[in-house]
């Protein structure tokens, strides 16, 4: 069994703060400070350019990718790190679309993260494809013979609604299409099984539930059956078969290595590597069970004590990820009042209070304290003050 008391001790959690926003940015692992400092002192400072070989910087994207692979149901040598999530979405989507050149439709849903839709819209315009966006519950029925790629975020960033990856992938395959799954709100939060679901491509960020730090690099996975056939539009020198031959013509590297683009962010990846140490003793089935316990407890507590809010997430825990959303007509002000009292969740337009639960560091005390403070704020109306209604640039 996973010892979550032990994993909690691996994070720096500020005094007086109940942190329920790990689905936006995970807290800092205690080990990250020394690990990054050692890398800068012993590798960058002393080895200089030699560090690409002697310190293993060049192979770091695969080393870290292998550590993430276990958490998403992928195999060794199938995941590589680098660049941002939007870039990885573009790579995966363009590669999938190129494998179905006779088809024009890219299908997604209205619950997808807008950035993914922006990428898809731009790609569709460039390659004369069509982006179709339907309601989340209408995805299955929208899969048809003209579909090239089904692109979905597994867990909805606002509601926490979780798509059935295996079922929708099977349906897409029956129609002759491929799938691209965004795991931004899945990796480190739920029990993902990419190989078991027979998915085709997957991408994800590492600064949320994986706790890699702000701007931590994204990852990309390609099913082994497609890894040597995938040809993304965005090609970079690190994905070349012989990058240091400096050929003028691009020749893709074998397998997942061709999904590398630019120079890897070594310092950021070092912090992520330290964060992944905490996962070494974690069983994903235990994590998922613990997540359900925490979210169910939170829903029950809020509904028993806060009649002014309405559940905005699926009630069935099997249909949601590791976050819970409630609706309130003045959600922004309510959330700012919560934050002022040390309960850090977040707001999503137009009226959503969003709370992320990460079993690595959240426990029942966090749940109960958040319920208590939210109930008190709603009872006494202390959220309704002018400064709580003033929206910041980043909300």
Catalytic residues: 113, 182, 207-208, 354
CA–CA distance, 186 with 29 (Å, rounded to integer): 19
List, in order, residues 6 or more apart from 314 with CB less than 8 Å away.
Answer: 159, 160, 161, 162, 320
Backbone φ, ψ for residue 280 (5° rounding): -60, -35
- CA distances 213 to 69, 202, 208, Å, are 19, 21, 8
Q: Does an H or E element contain 329, and which?
A: none
CB 101, CB 75: distance < 8 Å: no
List, in order, residues 6 or more apart from 17 with CB less than 8 Å away.
Answer: 342, 344
CA–CA distance, 119 with 103 (Å, rounded to integer): 18
**Counting every residue, how long is the chain?**
395
CA–CA distance, 250 with 240 (Å, rounded to integer): 6
CA–CA distance, 169 with 81 (Å, rounded to integer): 24
CA–CA distance, 271 with 37 (Å, rounded to integer): 10
- Determine the angle formed by the axes of helices 85-98 and 114-127, rounding to 10 degrees: 40
CA–CA distance, 102 with 355 (Å, rounded to integer): 43
CA–CA distance, 290 with 270 (Å, rounded to integer): 28
CA–CA distance, 384 with 381 (Å, rounded to integer): 6
CA atoms within 13 A on the CB side of 175: 23
Neighbour tally for 364: CB within 10 Å: 11
Backbone φ, ψ for residue 211 (5° rounding): 65, 35
Burial pattern 142-152, b for ≥16 Cβ within 10 A else e, equals bbeeebbbbbb
* DSSP code of residue 152: E
- CA distances 14 to 10, 19, 29, 208, 342, Å, are 13, 9, 12, 17, 10
């Amino acid at each position: 069994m996973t010892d979550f008391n032990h994993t909690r001790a691996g994070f720096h959690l500020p005094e007086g703060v109940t942190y329920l926003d790990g689905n936006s940015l995970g807290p800092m692992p205690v080990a990250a400070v020394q690990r990054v400092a050692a890398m800068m002192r012993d590798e960058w400072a002393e080895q200089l350019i030699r560090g690409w070989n002697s310190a293993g910087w060049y192979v770091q994207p695969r080393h870290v990718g292998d550590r993430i692979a276990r958490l998403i149901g992928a195999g060794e040598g199938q995941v590589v790190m680098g660049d941002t999530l939007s870039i990885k979405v573009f790579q995966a989507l363009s590669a999938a679309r190129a494998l179905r050149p006779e088809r024009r439709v890219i299908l997604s849903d209205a619950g997808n993260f807008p950035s993914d839709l922006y990428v898809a819209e731009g790609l569709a315009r460039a390659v004369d494809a069509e982006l179709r966006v339907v309601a989340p519950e209408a995805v299955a029925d929208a899969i048809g013979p003209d579909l090239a790629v089904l692109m979905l975020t597994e867990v909805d960033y606002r509601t926490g609604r979780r798509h059935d990856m295996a079922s929708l992938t099977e349906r897409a395959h029956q129609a002759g299409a491929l799938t691209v799954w965004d795991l931004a709100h899945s990796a480190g939060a739920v029990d993902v099984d990419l190989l078991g679901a027979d998915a085709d491509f997957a991408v994800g960020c590492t600064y949320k539930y994986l706790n890699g730090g702000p701007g931590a690099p994204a990852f990309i996975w390609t099913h082994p059956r497609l890894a040597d056939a995938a040809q993304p539009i965005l090609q970079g020198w690190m994905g070349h078969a012989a990058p240091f031959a400096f050929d003028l013509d691009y020749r893709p590297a074998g397998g997942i290595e061709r999904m590398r683009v630019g120079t890897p962010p070594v310092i950021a990846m070092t912090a992520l590597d330290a964060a992944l140490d905490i996962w070494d003793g974690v069983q994903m089935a235990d994590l998922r069970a613990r997540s359900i316990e925490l979210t169910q407890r939170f829903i029950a507590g809020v509904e028993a004590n806060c009649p002014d809010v309405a559940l905005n997430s699926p009630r069935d825990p099997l249909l949601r990820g590791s976050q819970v959303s409630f609706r309130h007509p003045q959600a922004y002000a309510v959330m700012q009042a919560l934050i002022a009292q040390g309960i850090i969740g977040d707001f999503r337009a137009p009226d959503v209070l969003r709370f992320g639960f990460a079993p690595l560091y959240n426990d029942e005390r966090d749940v109960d304290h958040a319920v208590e403070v939210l109930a008190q704020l709603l009872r006494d109306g202390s959220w309704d003050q002018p400064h709580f209604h003033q929206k910041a640039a980043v909300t």
